[in-house]
């Protein structure tokens, strides 16, 4: 596997960890990232993003607190993203 294939494989692995729709979001430290509902510690689901090193970072806002139901959290994320006019992530299929 060459470097480009390894990078694409890493992206696919990170993408698979998300539950539901993802959005583009600008952070102060990591720049533009994809956020979505991901498994946090234990049984909790969080809204966050996954770094290049596969670390999970939570988007900290009182409206998107961790919970045990990913579907309910996805609904909250969709509302929050719509209010902030965040752009949804579109996956491009490679041929």
Per DSSP, the residues of 10-35 read HHHHHHHTEEEEEEEEEETTTEEEEE
Cα–Cα dist 12/20, whole Å: 15
Residue 76 predicted with pLDDT over 80: yes
Residue 48 predicted with pLDDT over 70: yes
Residue 95 predicted with pLDDT over 50: no
C-beta neighbour count of 73 within 10 angstroms: 23
- pLDDT for position 53: 84
Residue 40 predicted with pLDDT over 80: yes
CB 79 within 8 A of CB 55: no
How confident is the model over 57-67, as pLDDT tens digits?
999 999 999 99
Residue scoring higher pLDDT (46 or 8): 46
């Amino acid at each position: 596997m060459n470097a480009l294939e390894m990078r694409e494989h890493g992206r696919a692995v990170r993408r698979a960890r998300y539950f539901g729709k993802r959005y583009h979001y600008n952070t102060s430290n990591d720049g533009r990232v994809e956020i979505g509902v991901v498994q946090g510690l234990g049984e909790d689901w969080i809204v966050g993003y996954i770094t290049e090193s596969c670390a999970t970072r939570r988007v900290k806002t009182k409206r998107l607190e961790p919970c045990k139901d990913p579907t309910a959290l996805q609904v909250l994320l969709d509302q929050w993203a719509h209010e902030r006019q965040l752009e949804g992530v579109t996956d491009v299929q490679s041929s």
